[in-house]
Every structure is written in structure tokens, then in C-alpha cells.
Amino acid sequence: MARLSVMEARRTFSETVNRVSFGRERIVLERHGKSVAALVPVEDLELYERLLEEYEDRLDVEEADRALAASENEHPVSWEDAKKRLGV
């Protein structure tokens, strides 16, 4: 993956965008030697977004499964008892 300083990317902005969009390069932008941003083709971004959403959905399902399994050990509380406990 190519790396460019933010200053270099600013100086060669049009060329850099062309490298990403037409050359399908991925470029990491650096400031003071630290990675601060990345330029990726739109197709890659769309793929990353789909994969991230699928991963987040899977984590949500796993968390819900854990919560359900934990709640199976608890005794149910009637609506009336819940209101009393909450002072409603």
C-alpha cells in the first residue's frame, strides 16, 4: 500500500485521486510519520462497509444470544411486582 505525506497529497491532489480512482491504488496519508487517513477506491469502500455491517450484525446476534442465555437462569417478575419494585 502506498504512503504519502498529507503535504505531498495536497500538492499532487488531482494525480493522487486519479491513482486511487483509475489505478485502484490504496494510499495511506501520513502526518509527521503517523497514519492519519486513507484514500481507497469507492468500490473498496462499499465492500468494506458491507463487510463491517455484516460483522456488526453478527456481534449483535452473539450479544443477544449471551443475554438470552443469561436471562434463562433468572426468575420472571410479574408486571405488578416490577411496578412495585420501581415505585410506580
User: 80 lies in a domain?
Assistant: no
> Which residue in 2, 64, 74, 68 sits closest to 35, CA to CA?
2
- pTM, entire model: 0.64
pLDDT band at 69 (very low <50, low <70, confident <90, very high): confident
Give the bridge partners for 2, in sequence order: 27
Kindly tell me the burial class for residue 74, based on how many C-beta atoms sit within 10 Å of its own C-beta (0-12, 13-18, 19 or more): exposed
20 in any annotated domain: yes
Q: What pLDDT sits at residue 26? A: 97
23 within some domain:
yes
Domain range holding 51?
Answer: 41-74
Residue 68's pLDDT is 86
CATH number where 7 lies: 3.40.1620
Residue 7 confidence (pLDDT):
97
Long-range contacts of 85-88 (CB under 8 A, 24+ apart): none
Look at residue 88 and tell me if it is in a domain: no
Residues 7 and 32 reside in one and the same domain: yes
